[in-house]
């Protein structure tokens, strides 16, 4: 199939439509003051690294004031910086440095819930006038024994009931995540206005937009009906116990996304000297729902980039070429024309690329990510092929869902292994911190796997990644038409073509065995291939001529070639 990155109605590609968004997990990126926790001055000190790599946009996981029950996703003040990370002055210095280097900054915005230490929640619990309905409060259900029970069977994503009794208010409040993260009530116009004001506050600080966390959880059915059983588990406290038809993906969510899109568009119009301010949305949802986030059936636009998690949720190390092709094509088929595709290969909530697909597949997966049309989203460390520290001991584990399930099961659900500190060099704690102990332990493989070593090596994952970013600058990668096909069960290829440019071909072997393929039919011409980018373990070199009729690919090998 074919798709255009560029809308027929546009005469240029806006900054966000073809960029690489580099996600920084602040707590693990760089510690500047020796307390074992990454911080804003640490990020600022490493912005030059992003610029040298070719990154022009970064998304920062939450930096707002928080008790850190869920490491920043429980916010106690939306207009203050978490003291562990620095001050507002530090944030302003970061913005200034990023601007100087041509890097746009996106903030992680968490609207579904606040911390229970937020002033709004305290006032709401006390029924202070104007705040009574800021959160979702419900009277208890009384059982046949006269005992108090939650109003229904809704569960928390993090295990257990989604309802917590508040002794002071004598009601239950809803929390779809931890009990310290009460859900805000967006059916209350005062809450909507308060969050609009927060967005405008940070826009005026110079951010280029927001990544909206857990957006599809923002509304619940007011009738509070029990959700139907899923049949997946007999554990009534598991999130998989029910099908979440009353607590996720309600129509009002889309209306709120569209409301915020209008707010951002209005701000951009009033400040034309700055970039288009954008919204990226996180929702693990069905494809038709996500397509509507782009633009609904009436043409009303919402999120510029509804995150596409299919490379995380729908393919893995056991997938074959057809699975990869299917997951690429289905997004492009459902995405409304005139919008930018996006591809998320990893994030702070899921195992790393090297751990999902295997260390030998890192270069191939980055080739896939970087040569598809549209936006690429990279989680910090994926450019190095960092791996999950899955053997992290229980004593070092801090992730709430992992702690909730206990010592016997924590490794199955913990997100700590993919959140370990960035591996800068082979010094103590991988150059992340000079502290005696870091908030999470560094992966033990850091003496060999680190940025400094990869910069010095003749070939490295980092150098492959950097070469791919350089390739993305060409017009063909920004505007070229796109075709993808499975060449065999284990090999797929896709082509980018544009008038007056040599076509670019990406070919990937997803199996653990060598594959010999004939690309002649796919290319539809007897021309030769010239290697543009090859992986660390590849026998091929950039500039080498290859015959399309008989191309040998090593296990998990990817190649990016020019057709001549």
Q: What is the pLDDT of residues 311-339, one digit of tens each?
A: 999 999 999 999 999 999 999 999 999 99
pLDDT at 267: 98
- Written out in words, the top-level CATH class of the domain with range 16-111+189-464 is alpha beta
Which position has the higher pLDDT, 500 or 195? 195
How far is residue 290's CA from residue 381's CA, in Å, rounded to a whole number? 27
Catalytic annotation, pick one of 84, 116, 213, 227: 213
How far is residue 152's CA from residue 141's CA, in Å, rounded to a whole number? 8
Contact 303, 280 (CB under 8 A): yes
Averaged over 66-85, what is the pLDDT? 97
Catalytic annotation, pick one of 282, 416, 418, 532: 282
Q: At what angle are helices 362-371 and 461-472 packed, to 10 degrees?
A: 10
Mean pLDDT (the chain) is 96
Using pLDDT thresholds of 50, 70 and 90, give the confidence band for residue 308: very high
pLDDT at 13: 83
pLDDT at 12: 56
* Contacts (Cβ under 8 Å, ≥6 apart) of 232: 240, 241
Averaged over 132-155, what is the pLDDT? 97
> Taking 60 as the threshold, does the pLDDT of residue 8 lie above it?
no
How far is residue 109's CA from residue 73's CA, in Å, rounded to a whole number? 9
For the chain, the domains span 16-111+189-464, 119-174, 479-563
Q: What percent of the chain has pLDDT over 90?
A: 96
> Taking 70 as the threshold, does the pLDDT of residue 148 lie above it?
yes
Contact 365, 357 (CB under 8 A): yes
> Taking 80 as the threshold, does the pLDDT of residue 411 lie above it?
yes
Sign of torsion over alpha carbons 227, 229, 235, 239: negative
Best CA proximity match to 42, nearest among 435, 464, 449, 447: 435
Sign of torsion over alpha carbons 542, 544, 547, 552: negative
- CATH fold of the domain at 119-174: Oligo-1,6-glucosidase; domain 2 (3.90.400)
pLDDT at 217: 98
Averaged over 200-214, what is the pLDDT? 98
H or E, element range at 210:
strand 209-212
pLDDT at 526: 64
> Taking 70 as the threshold, does the pLDDT of residue 2 lie above it?
no
213 is annotated as an active-site residue? yes
452 is annotated as an active-site residue? no
Averaged over 543-562, what is the pLDDT? 97
> Taking 90 as the threshold, does the pLDDT of residue 3 lie above it?
no
> Taking 70 as the threshold, does the pLDDT of residue 187 lie above it?
yes
CATH code: domain 479-563 is 2.60.40.1180
Using pLDDT thresholds of 50, 70 and 90, give the confidence band for residue 514: very high
> Taking 80 as the threshold, does the pLDDT of residue 6 lie above it?
no
Best CA proximity match to 29, nearest among 433, 388, 460: 433
Q: What are the phi and psi torsion angles at 248 (to 5°)?
A: -140, 150
pLDDT at 469: 98
């Amino acid at each position: 199939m074919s798709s255009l990155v560029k809308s027929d109605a546009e005469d240029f590609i806006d900054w966000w439509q073809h960029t690489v968004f580099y996600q920084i997990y602040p707590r693990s990126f760089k510690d500047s003051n020796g307390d074992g926790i990454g911080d804003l001055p640490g990020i600022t000190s490493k912005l030059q690294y992003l610029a040298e790599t070719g990154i022009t946009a970064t998304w920062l996981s939450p930096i707002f004031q928080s008790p850190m029950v869920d490491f920043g996703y429980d916010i106690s003040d939306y207009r203050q910086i978490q003291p562990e990370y620095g001050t507002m002055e530090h944030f302003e210095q970061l913005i200034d440095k990023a601007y100087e280097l041509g890097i746009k900054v996106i903030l992680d915005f968490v609207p579904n819930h606040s911390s229970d230490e937020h002033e709004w929640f305290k006032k709401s619990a006390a029924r202070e006038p104007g705040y009574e309905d800021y959160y979702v409060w419900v009277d208890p259900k009384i059982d046949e024994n006269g005992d108090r029970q939650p109003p229904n069977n809704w569960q928390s994503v993090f295990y257990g009931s989604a309802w917590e009794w508040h002794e002071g208010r004598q009601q239950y409040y809803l929390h779809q995540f931890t009990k310290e993260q009460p859900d805000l009530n967006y059916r209350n116009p005062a809450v909507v206005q308060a969050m609009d004001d927060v967005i405008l506050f940070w826009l005026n600080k110079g951010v280029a937009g927001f990544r909206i966390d857990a957006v599809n959880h923002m509304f619940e059915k007011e009738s509070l009906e029990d959700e139907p059983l899923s049949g997946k588990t007999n554990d009534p406290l598991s999130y998989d116990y029910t099908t979440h038809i009353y607590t996720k993906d309600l129509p009002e969510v889309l209306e709120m996304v569209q409301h915020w899109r209008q707010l951002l568009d209005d701000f951009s119009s009033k400040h034309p000297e700055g970039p288009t301010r954008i919204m990226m949305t996180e929702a693990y949802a069905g494809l038709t729902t996500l397509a509507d986030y782009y633009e609904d059936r009436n043409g009303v636009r919402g999120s510029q980039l509804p995150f596409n998690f299919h490379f995380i949720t729908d393919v893995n190390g056991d997938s074959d070429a057809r699975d990869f092709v299917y997951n690429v094509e289905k997004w492009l088929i459902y995405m409304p024309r005139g919008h930018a595709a996006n591809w998320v290969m990893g994030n702070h909530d899921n195992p790393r690329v090297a751990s999902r697909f295997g260390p030998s597949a890192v270069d191939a997966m980055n080739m896939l990510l970087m040569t598809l049309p549209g936006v690429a989203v990279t989680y910090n460390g994926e450019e190095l092929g960092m791996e999950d520290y899955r053997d992290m001991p229980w004593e070092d584990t801090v992730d709430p869902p992992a702690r909730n399930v206990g010592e016997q099961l924590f490794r199955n659900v913990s997100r700590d292994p993919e959140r370990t500190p960035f591996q800068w060099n082979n010094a103590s704690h991988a150059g992340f911190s000079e502290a005696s102990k870091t908030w999470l332990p560094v992966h033990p493989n850091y003496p060999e796997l680190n940025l400094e070593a990869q910069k010095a090596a003749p070939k490295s994952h980092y150098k492959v990644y950097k070469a791919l970013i350089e390739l993305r600058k060409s017009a063909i990668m920004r505007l070229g038409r796109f075709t993808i096909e499975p060449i065999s069960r284990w090999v797929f290829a896709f082509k980018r073509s544009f008038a007056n440019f040599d076509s670019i071909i990406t070919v990937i072997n997803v199996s653990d065995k060598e594959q010999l393929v004939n690309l002649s039919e796919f290319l539809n011409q007897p021309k030769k291939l010239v290697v543009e980018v090859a992986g660390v373990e590849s026998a091929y070199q950039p500039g080498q001529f290859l015959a399309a009729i008989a191309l040998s690919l090593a296990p998990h090998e990817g190649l990016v070639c020019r057709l001549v």
